[in-house]
Amino acid sequence: MAAELDIVNLFIIAGGTLAIPLLAFIAFFLLWPSALIKIYYWYWRRTLGLQVHYADCGGYRFCYSCRGKPGMRPSVLMLHSFSAHKDTWLTLVKYLPKHLHIVCVDMPGHEGTTRTNTDDYSIVGQARRIHQFVETIRLTRKPFHVVGTSMGGNVAGVYAATYPTEICSMTLICPDGQCTKFDNHLQDLERSNYTLNIPLIPTTPEEMEDMFRLCSHVRFKIPQQILQGLVDVREPHNSFYEEVFLEIISEKSRYALQEHLHLITAPVQVIWGKRDQVMDVSGATVIAEILPGCRVDLLENCGHSVVMERPCRTAKLILEFIILQQEARGGTKKSS
């Protein structure tokens, strides 16, 4: 009888031990979904071996995550899209070799990087800030590969045109800075004196779901609580996002990439989702016409959120391009 009671007690203790984290998860999911999202990003950074660092320069602080050390392959700098953050790249980093030196930085004013009322958030202004970051962490010791998506692609293109000796090659993923399908909505915003809601700055779970539909061809089933958590995480920053949005769609920045393309000398790869509803896929043709040697990879059944929708395929394409360009420069033979 005593042995049976011990077994019962053991099951009770085991059940209680399992129930505590389960109940904690349910509580976070229902009551604090935004905290659960932050834990999720922390967990995946840790799992993938990414470490968060800060770089200070003249009173300005950059937040970035990195993995690996500079080696025979070029270092890879990743620039995220509007209103995103360095963890945008986690799904992609998962499929890249662990020995590859990767740096994912929070763009100016975003997430952990300094935000000021006096900073220049135009595309050219952001390119200058990223150059400051690159010099601060001494990434310029040898030419590196830069990857940029959407707004980050615009900044990456302007960066490559402005600081050509620092870039050995570049990948642009659905970059803005050209004529887009979104232009019609921008015209509606201008006519309304910017009183209409901006689709890329959602304020409710429903608007968040609409943004996912706009940006992604693949339909992800996201629970309402997670949508609410995503809104809660972004809501304190929405006024800043509006400021940046108005800056990057201004005459000064809207076509910045297109205006700088002819100055780019580094080999360029363009990756674009054929079902992109934000930046028209014809932009890839525009870039190829100005830069005849560029490589264009168009992805079937993929929208604007290429990194989220096709992370494995995108990582493979980027790595192939880096290796091909290195071999073309007389570098080492591929070993990954």
Per-residue pLDDT, averaged over 87-114, amounts to: 97
Give catalytic status of residue 304 as yes or no: yes
**Catalytic residue selected from 106, 276, 280, 297:** 276
Share above pLDDT 90 across residues of the chain, in percent, rounded to a whole number: 71
Burial of 282 (C-beta count, 10 Å sphere; 0-12/13-18/19+): middle
Which of 44-53, 196-205, 241-250, 287-296 shows the lowest mean pLDDT across its residues? Answer: 196-205
The reply to whether 185 belongs to the active site is no
- pTM score, whole prediction: 0.87
Q: Which of 75, 150, 169, 216 is catalytic?
A: 150
Q: Quick one: pLDDT at residue 335?
A: 46
Top-level CATH class of 32-328? alpha beta
| Side chain identity at residue 188, one-letter code | D
- Please give the angle made by the CA atoms of 67, 110 and 299, to the nearest 5 degrees: 65
Look at residue 132 and tell me whether its pLDDT is greater than 70: yes
pLDDT band at 3 (very low <50, low <70, confident <90, very high): very low
pLDDT at 2 over 80: no
Q: Of 245, 314, 221, which is closest to residue 273 (Cα–Cα)?
A: 314
Q: For residue 100, give the 3-state DSSP assignment.
A: coil
Which of the residues 85, 176, 304, 305 is marked catalytic? 304
pLDDT in tens, 38-74: 899 999 999 999 999 999 998 999 999 999 999 999 9
Q: What is the pLDDT of residues 104-130, one digit of tens each?
A: 999 999 999 999 988 999 999 999 999
In what order do the strands lie in the sheet containing 144-149? 51-57, 60-67, 102-105, 76-79, 144-149, 167-173, 268-273, 295-299
pLDDT of residue 31: 42
Average pLDDT over residues 249-274: 94
Catalytic annotation on 99?
no
Q: Please state, in angstroms and rounded to a whole number, the distance separating the CA atoms of residues 164 and 329.
A: 16
Domain ranges (residues) in the chain: 1-30, 32-328
Task: Tell me the average pLDDT across 290-315.
Answer: 96
pLDDT tens by residue, 12-35 = 444 545 444 544 444 444 445 678
